[in-house]
Chain A
Amino acid sequence: MMMRNKISLGFAALVVALLLVVPVYASWAGEPFALTFMARVLVFALAAISLNLILGYGGMVSFGHALYMGLGAYSVGLLAQHEVTNGWVQLGVTLAVCGAVGLLTGVISLRTTGIAFIMITLAFAQMFYYLFVSLKQYGGDDGLSISARSDFGLFTLASPVTLYYTALVLVLAALFFTHRLVAARFGMVLRGCRVNERRMKAMGFHTLRYRLSAYVLSSMLCGLAGLLYANLTGFASPAYLAWTVSGELIVMVVLGGMGTVFGPLAGALVLLISEELLKALTDHWMMILGPLIVLVVLTARRGVYGYLLDWDAWRERKRVAVLPESVEGQP
C-alpha cells in the first residue's frame, strides 16, 4: 500500500528503465557518443553516491573526494603500465589503496569538524594531486595513457557496451547498498552523528569509529568509480583529482538531493547533461554554469529528488487528512 502511487519511485523506475536501453538507442541511432557520455554520467553518479554516503547521511563535507577517483584511475594506469591488466588484481589494488589512504587521512581529518574538515580533505587531495603531477616517469602533468583495459577473465572493459552495463550494475548495486545501509543500525548511528554527535556519544556510541568506517567505505566505493573512469577514457590524469572535480561531485549530491538514496544519480544526470547543453550553446559555458550553481544554492535547497520526496509527503498528508472521516464510525 505504502509503495503505491509514489511519484519519486515512479520517477526513479523511469530513469533506470531509460538507462537500461541507452546502448540499444546508441547503436540504433548510430550515436556512439551518447553511449560514452552516459557511461561518464554513470561513473560520476557512482562517485556521487559514495560521497552522499558521508556528506548526505554523515554530514561530513569532504571537499577532496576526487582523490579516490584519481587513486582508482591510477591503480589501473600504473598497473597497466607494468603490464598487469588483470581486472581482479586492479580491483584489489584499488580497494586496498583507497581503503588505506581513506583510513590514514580519515583518522587525521575526522579529528576536526565543520570548515576545518572541508579544508583538510581539500588539502589532502591537493597533496596527491601534486604527487601525481611530479611523477614525471608516469606522464606527470600530461597524465598516463592506458593501452590495455581491465581484463576480468569472463569479460573485459574494452567494449563500451560492456563498460556501460558494468557501470550500470555497479550504480544500481551501490544504490541498493545505500538503501540498506542507511536503514540499518550503522546508518542510524551515522545519521544520528550528523544531527547531534555529542548526544550519540552520551548514548555510548564510539562515534569516531562509525564515522571513520563510513569514510573508508565511501572512499573505496569512489575508487571503484575511478577504476571505471580510467577504463572509459583510457587515461589516468592528475586532472581527475583536481579540486574542481571534488566541487562538481558536491554539486551533484546537493543538486540531486542530499541524503536521499536516489539523489546522487539524479544530480549527476542533471549536472552533466546541463553542462553538455551549455557547451553546445557557447564556448564560455562556465560563465553560465557558475551563476546557475549560485542560483541553485540560493533557491533550491532540497535538490531534484528531494522535491519529489516532498511532493510524495505532501500527497501522503493530504490522503491521511481525508482518512479519519472515512474510518470514524469504526470501533
Chain B
Amino acid sequence: MRKISRLSRFNIASLTLGLAFLYLPILILVIYSFNASRLVTVWGGWSLRWYHEFFADRAMIEASWMSLRVAVSSATIATLTGTLAAVALSRGERFRGRTLFSGMLYAPLVMPEVITGLSLLLLFVALNAERGFWTVTIAHTTLTMCFVAVVVQSRLGSLDRSLEEAAMDLGCAPVRAFLSVTLPLIAPAIVAGWMLAFTLSLDDLVIASFTTGPGSATLPIRIYSEVRLGVKPEINAICTLVIALIAVVIVIASLASKLSSSQGESAAPL
C-alpha cells in the first residue's frame, strides 16, 4: 500500500509528459515518411513513394554504404581496444601513466566534437594521409573506444573477483583465467559496447565532416547538406530506415544485457 502511494499524480504526469516529449517527434517523422504528398506537411494518403526515391538515389545509397562500412569497422576495432583498456583500468592496478591513460579515455566522452574533429584532421593533414574511409574509421574508433571502455569497465567492476582468483588458485594462468572465466561473464557488456559504438559511428556528423575527403561523404553528411537546403520528404524515409536499423540493434543489445542480468549480476546501464 505504502509503495503505491509513493507514486503521486505529479510523478505520473511528469513521466507521461516526459516520454511523450521524447517519442512524439520521432513517431510523427516515421508516419510522415509514408506520406504520398510531395508537401511534407499535407497528408496525401499512405505510400512507399519516398522509399522508392531513396533506393533510386545513387549518392544516398553510396553514402549509406560508406556509413555502414565505417560503423562496422570502427565498432569492431573500438571494441577490441576499448575492452583491453577496460581490463587494464579495472585489473591492472597501478601502472605508469595510469592517470593520463584514464584521462585520455574520459575526455573524448564530453569533449565538444568540433575540437576532436579539428585536431584529428590537422593530424591527418600533417601526416599527408589521404582522407576517406580510413581516416573516418580511425576518428570514429578513437571516440567510440572510450564508450566501450566505460561500458565494459562498469561490468568488470560489478564482477565478483573471487571467480578469477579461484580459477588461478586452481592453476589457471592469468590470461587463461581471463579467457575462460572473465571473458564469458563480460561478453554481454562487450556486445552492448559494440552496438553502442556502431550506432554512435552511424550517427556522427561533426567528426566525419572534418575527417572525410571529397567524394566519400557518410550518410549524416549527406542528410545534413540536404536538410540545410530545406525539408524533403525523401529524408523522412531515410531517417525512418535508420531508426529501424537502430531499433534492431537495440533489441539485440537489450537481449544481450538481459542475458547478463539472468546470470545473476546487475545489467550495465547501457
Are both chains from one complex? no
